[in-house]
Amino acid sequence: MFGRNKNKFNGDESILLVDDDKGQLDIFATWMIAVRPNAYIRTATNVRQASELIKAHLFSLVISDYSMPHAGAGLEVLRAAIQSGLSESSFIMLSGTTDNLPDSVRLVSKGDLAALELAIEQALR
Amino acid sequence: MTDQERAALENHAEQTRQLEQLLIQRQKWLGDASHELRGPLNAAAMSLNVVTRRDDLPDGVHATLRTAERHLLHMSDLVRDMFDTAKLENDAFELSVTADVPVYEIVEEIAEEFAANREVLSLRSVPDRTITATLDRDRIRQVVRNLVSNAVKYHQADKQATIAVLLHRIDDACFEIVVDDTPNGLGMTKSDLEALESGQPFWRAEAAKTVASGTGLGIQLSRKLVERSGGQLRYDSEFGSGTIATVQLPYSSRPDTDAI
């Protein structure tokens, strides 16, 4: 678990990061704290864990890997997010390219930090 | 039909099934391998990015770490381009076409992404906001991003990049996305343009090699992606002035398998 203001969770900016590689996910969370120092960051390493967090909490933004490990697992996280009331524009999918992704979901290539930072800024405006 | 003919037909059907399975496996492998190779590169780049955000680093350290970060991201892009090229050449590539894509959003997103780059003096986007098309949004974004990225990188040594990204209608069937880096662009000679048109992967103009790192894969990949979408990518260029890259696309992209 990361973040500086636990008590602000459900109130202010809260971001869920989903990736099946724990090491890369921890680095992602550290990067996210550098980019959004006041956000409350939570992480999940699989679809089930992400779905449970999404059901239990209100997130401002969900960022998920597309392949976890099979291609398309990120779509299951997206479905859970939409079912819980999150708008598609508050979801960012990390992948080079995908099938069956709604137009309103932002797609960012996993290594493209500048594009990711811009997408986060746009989603949280 | 004789028993022998029936057996031959069944044998042929089985071979076809096995070939189809192999193609599916190859497509999956190309996708998985790209994902697995890029993951650690991206994580390392992200770690460096966290450090380079600090403003208390000595200048030399900051510059060195930024260079390392750029190299990692460059390698990640290279892996992606190599696997995309392999997928295209092995016919293991499918467009994911969506209807009614607002093309101006792609143009504006890319323009916004590069506008704050320190190499850029001005980046102006002039999109016709009425244009929507049936196309693979992510792949066309990849193409426009590649063209703008090249325009940002390859400018004259003593100048910053001046870039215009235009989107306009040609007729009822087609529209154009134009990336124009004149007059501060590096530009290409006539022989450069001829070599570019030959379609050799890894080819780069000699002048470009002295300005920025690159592989030459992106420029050929962009052409193939546009052709796959039923369009054309052409370059008008003058050495010492710049390049105008024009992507002409139909409103409805029909994958063109003959383009590979």
- What digits encode the pLDDT tens for the residues B107-137? 998 898 888 788 899 999 999 999 999 998 8
Average pLDDT over every residue of B89-93: 70
State the nearest Cα–Cα gap between B32 and chain A, in angstroms: 8
Residue B164: its pLDDT value, please? 96
Residue B244: its pLDDT value, please? 97
Q: Specify whether B149 is located in the same domain as B248.
A: yes
Average pLDDT over every residue of B93-106: 84
Please report the domains of chain A, with CATH numbers, ordered by start residue.
Answer: 6-123 (3.40.50.2300)
Does B49 lie at the interface with A, CB-CB under 8 angstroms? yes
What percent of chain B has pLDDT above 90?
43
State the nearest Cα–Cα gap between A85 and chain B, in angstroms: 24
Comparing alpha-carbon positions, the chain A residue that sits nearest to B72 is A111
Cα–Cα distance, A116 to A61 (Å, whole number):
13
- The verdict on a CB contact (< 8 Å) between A98 and B113 is no
For chain B, the domain total comes to: 2
- Whole domain around residue B206: which residue ranges? 98-259
Lowest-confidence range among A90-99, A110-119, B5-14, B153-162? A90-99
Does A2 lie at the interface with B, CB-CB under 8 angstroms? no
Q: Looking at B39, B66, B89, which one is the last position of a domain?
A: B89
Provide the CATH number for the domain around residue B184.
3.30.565.10
Which ipTM did the prediction report? Answer: 0.79
Comparing alpha-carbon positions, the chain B residue that sits nearest to A19 is B39
Residue A67: its pLDDT value, please? 82
| Chain B environment of A98 (Cβ under 8 Å) | 96, 138
Q: Specify whether B84 is located in the same domain as B143.
A: no
Q: Looking at B57, B89, B121, which one is the last position of a domain?
A: B89
Mutate to test the interface with A, among B120, B138, B141 (most CBs of A within 10 A): B138
| Whether the Cβ atoms of residue B136 and residue B144 lie closer than 8 Å to each other | no
Q: Specify whether B48 is located in the same domain as B149.
A: no
Q: Specify whether B188 is located in the same domain as B226.
A: yes
Angle at A18 between CA A14 and CA A22, to 5 degrees: 120
Residue A97: its pLDDT value, please? 56
Q: Specify whether B42 is located in the same domain as B110.
A: no
| Full strand arrangement of the beta sheet holding B161-169 | B120-127, B161-169, B174-180, B242-250, B232-238
Comparing alpha-carbon positions, the chain B residue that sits nearest to A97 is B138
pLDDT of B176 over the 70 cut: yes
Residues 41-100 of A with CB under 8 A from B: 67, 71, 96-100
- What digits encode the pLDDT tens for the residues B210-257? 877 777 888 889 999 999 999 999 999 999 999 999 999 999 876 554
Lowest-confidence range among A87-91, A107-111, B49-53, B61-65? A107-111
Residue B211: its pLDDT value, please? 78
Q: Looking at B89, B117, B146, which one is the last position of a domain?
A: B89
Mutate to test the interface with B, among A17, A20, A27 (most CBs of B within 10 A): A27
Q: What is the mean pLDDT of chain B?
A: 87
Q: Specify whether B120 is located in the same domain as B217.
A: yes
Residue B92: its pLDDT value, please? 66
Q: Specify whether B232 is located in the same domain as B144.
A: yes
Q: Specify whether B110 is located in the same domain as B69.
A: no
Q: Specify whether B104 is located in the same domain as B24.
A: no
pLDDT of A3 over the 50 cut: no
pLDDT of B161 over the 50 cut: yes
Does B112 lie at the interface with A, CB-CB under 8 angstroms? yes
- What digits encode the pLDDT tens for the residues A22-79? 999 999 999 999 999 999 999 999 999 999 999 999 999 999 998 887 777 899 999 9
Mutate to test the interface with B, among A97, A105, A112 (most CBs of B within 10 A): A97
- The verdict on a CB contact (< 8 Å) between B96 and A110 is no
Position with higher pLDDT, A70 vs B18 = B18
Does A21 lie at the interface with B, CB-CB under 8 angstroms? yes
Q: Specify whether B82 is located in the same domain as B118.
A: no
Q: Please state, as a whole number, how many other Cβ atoms lie within 10 Å of the Cβ of residue B255.
A: 15
Average pLDDT over every residue of B199-209: 81
Does B118 lie at the interface with A, CB-CB under 8 angstroms? no
Q: Specify whether B114 is located in the same domain as B204.
A: yes
Lowest-confidence range among A7-11, A95-99, B40-44? A7-11
| Whether the Cβ atoms of residue A79 and residue A93 lie closer than 8 Å to each other | no
| Whether the Cβ atoms of residue B149 and residue B182 lie closer than 8 Å to each other | no
Kindly state the helix (H) or strand (E) to which residue B133 belongs, with its residue range: strand B132-135
Q: Specify whether B54 is located in the same domain as B111.
A: no
| Whether the Cβ atoms of residue A20 and residue A57 lie closer than 8 Å to each other | no
